[in-house]
Amino acid sequence: MDQARSTISKIFNGEPHSYTRFNLTQNMEGDNSQVEMKLSSDVDEEVGGNGVGDHLNHNSNRKPYVAQKFGRTPKNLCFMAAAIFLIFLIGYLIGYLVHRKKDLSPSCSASALPFANPPPHETGAAPLMDWDKVKELLAQKLNANKFEAAFMEFNSENHQAGSPGDEDLANKVLTKFKEYGMNPWTDEHFVRVQDPPASGTNKITFKGTNFRPSGFLSYSPSGRVTGAVVYANFGEESDLDFLEDKNFNLTGKVVLVRAGKISFAEKVANAAKRKAAAVLICPGTTDDSIGDNIELFGHVHMGSGDPYTPGFPSFNHTQFPPVQSSGLPTIPAQTITKGMASNILQLSGHEIPAQWKVFGSLGDEKDVITVEVNNTLTEKRINNIFGVIKGFVDADRYVVIGAKRDARGPGFAASTVGTSVLVELARSISDMVKNDGFKPRRSIVFASWSGGEYGSIGATEWLEGYLSSLNLKRDTFSELVFEPLKLDSAAYPFLAFSGIPSISFRLTSNDLDYQYFGTELDKWDKLNLITGAKVPHLTQVAAQFAGHIALRLVHDHLLRMDLAKYDKFIRAKVVQINVKVKNVQRVSALTMQWLFSASGSYSRASRSLAADIENSDLEDIEMCRILNDRIMTVERNFLSPYVSPRDSPFRHILLGFGPHTLGGLSDHLQALRSNNNNNSNADVELFRNQFALATWTLQGCANSLAGDIWSLDNEI
């Protein structure tokens, strides 16, 4: 009868969706955040040997019904009695047939099937393919020769966003997706970006010598400023702190920094906070791999997407109120060549620290320089290209794999390799579905973004346009790079702006930056030289890694995120804030009880969820749906609801940046500790407000994670 009741319930209520199981671990140890995927070698490790929803019956054609009120007449009572008897009779017959079928079916050992005792209902999808078989098939499809051919097809000397070269590559990707039967489509945006001066040049003047670089930094304010030049290594906060400890007052100075460590935008923002007048950026390498005349290109928007439509998609000349991103810089910035930097810093002044030993000195008050920036604001039409491999069970739940397509100059490592990986993965997985019997439970969307060189514009504008749909679909995004997420990663806005679990990976060598990014030297031969002529082989390895992540996400049943990592990170931040509060006299009376309580609530909620997962029957489809919903709301609920996308686009209180984050609270306390009333970043009342809002954001996330309203922790 239990089986009968279950069947009847399914007839009237329909079948809920099933979900994927994967381990998505946020590595919060230290300040650098990294998302790790734990991919076990055996499916049974993921689901404990139980097939959750392997053969679920999803009936999407069930029609709605309208309840009617019946009178208590003898005729109606007889009708109701007959209906009840009929239901019980159907239930009994179904139960009997199911039991009989089970008795007559041949016995199978657990080792003979991916899962022991699979549910009897079929979905039309093939039985779950063994994970080792999935990996084997992918390895057979991907090979170095295929990637070499892809490099030749997608390599281009100039495919800047919105250019004919970019359009040509977009059409090639679109054609490939059509060949693979992926029902491709395009996504068009009209965005505003900065390019070099249409007439004339940007100019640097130092001691009577004019330098006219052809490189530039998009989104730099135009203008002409003059000030003493100061060398500040990579322009990190610690570098600027070192200078101020040496009694360098950076107010009104032109700060010269090297490329590397952090994004160009962060370098400029750091200098602006110290009231510098302008920033010059030169190549960061200390060897001769980059010549004296190689130009740098980049952008200095402390954000992503079109900065003139913050929080809004740039669809078809969409008109919004005249606003702009708060992440646009307030001081001019310009790139210069290594030769220009050497000429400027071969001067007298304070001796450079040993660890900064690249140029002759730090500079001096008499070393005056003039920076003139005349960039031009232009509008460009860009296209994102998409293709999809639809899932066989939960087609409306999907994983997105994306790679940027555009680059200024050759951009071989910056874009060609990524586009090749994207297209080859699309070909391989499509072939697995068509010819090898692989049937993904969820859909895989392949995305070729444009506008990446200007700050992940294509990816961000698409995200802004479909944010509500993406959140509803529990989308998971993976971009083709490998390192702790940084501001200039296309995966970053998915996580910090929209609260969608995201990863980012790339191959590196000894944690060193690839010195040719953003230059005209980013070519096939340079990457081949650095890798020992192993570019096709290493690309194959990268593609297999990306493929394993994507396929595991669409292969398994129940989503699993290690929320204990966030718990550890939150407690570390709370302890850090507590120590600083005690040491800042101006806020020493502030009680930490609220923040401690919110942190404890999250800790208890995460442990409770882990216990619920451990103690739940994972064959209970409704329970799996509830658990997955609780898990997937965590990232989104870490987004502060108290700040606007215009002012603080990256609203994640743990992984974003801005005064609303836990890191921002710590920085504000540091500013208050300096006891400098002239510091605009030090405001006691503002800190108290930020403290309260961050606390309640954390508590709200804990409440959502706890699940049912009667499970909420209301200690605050």
Q: Please report which confidence band the pLDDT of residue 614 belongs to, taking 50, 70 and 90 as the band edges.
A: confident
Residue 470 confidence (pLDDT): 61
Highest mean pLDDT among 112-116, 523-527, 677-681: 523-527
What's the confidence (pLDDT) of residue 100? 35
Query: So what's the pLDDT on residue 79?
Result: 40
pLDDT in tens, 433-487: 999 999 998 899 999 999 999 988 888 888 777 666 665 454 444 347 334 567 7
The pair of structure tokens assigned to 707 is 């699940």
Residue-wise pLDDT for 259-276, tens only, equals 988 999 999 999 999 999
Binned at pLDDT 50, 70 and 90, residue 713 comes out as: low
Residue 393 has pLDDT above 90, yes or no: no
Q: What is the pLDDT of residue 106?
A: 32
Instruction: Residue count of the chain, please give it.
Output: 716
Q: How would residue 247 be classed by pLDDT, with cut points 50, 70 and 90?
A: confident
Percent of the chain with pLDDT over 70: 73
pTM score: 0.75
Among the residue ranges 35-39, 189-193, 252-256, the one predicted with the least confidence is 35-39
Copy the structure tokens of residue 321: 């109120």
Does 578 or 93 have the greater pLDDT score?
Answer: 578
Helix axes 593-615, 684-706, angle to 10 degrees: 20
On average, the pLDDT of the chain sits at 77
> What sign results for the dihedral spanned by CA atoms 105, 106, 111, 112?
negative
pLDDT bin (cut points 50, 70, 90) of residue 503 is: confident
User: What's the token pair of residue 698?
Assistant: 């954390």
Flag whether pLDDT at 64 surpasses 70.
no
Is the model's pLDDT at 502 over the cut of 60? yes
Per-residue pLDDT, 305 = 86
> What is the average pLDDT across 305-311?
84
DSSP 8-state assignment for residue 74:
H
- Is the per-residue pLDDT at 696 higher than 80? yes
State mean pLDDT over 227-232: 93
Chain centre to alpha carbon of residue 214: 32
Report pLDDT digits (tens) over 112-130: 222 333 333 333 444 578 9
What pLDDT score was predicted for residue 474?
45
Q: How many CA atoms lie within 13 A of 444 on its CB side?
A: 29
What's the pLDDT at 560?
A: 65
586 vs 143: CA distance, rounded Å: 63
Q: According to the model, what pLDDT value does residue 646 have?
A: 73
Rounded average pLDDT over 511-533:
87
Residue 200: per-residue pLDDT: 84
> What's the pLDDT band for 638 if we cut at 50, 70, 90?
very high
Neighbour tally for 289: CB within 10 Å? 14
Do 533 and 506 contact (CB within 8 A), yes or no? no
Q: Is the pLDDT of residue 607 over 80?
A: yes
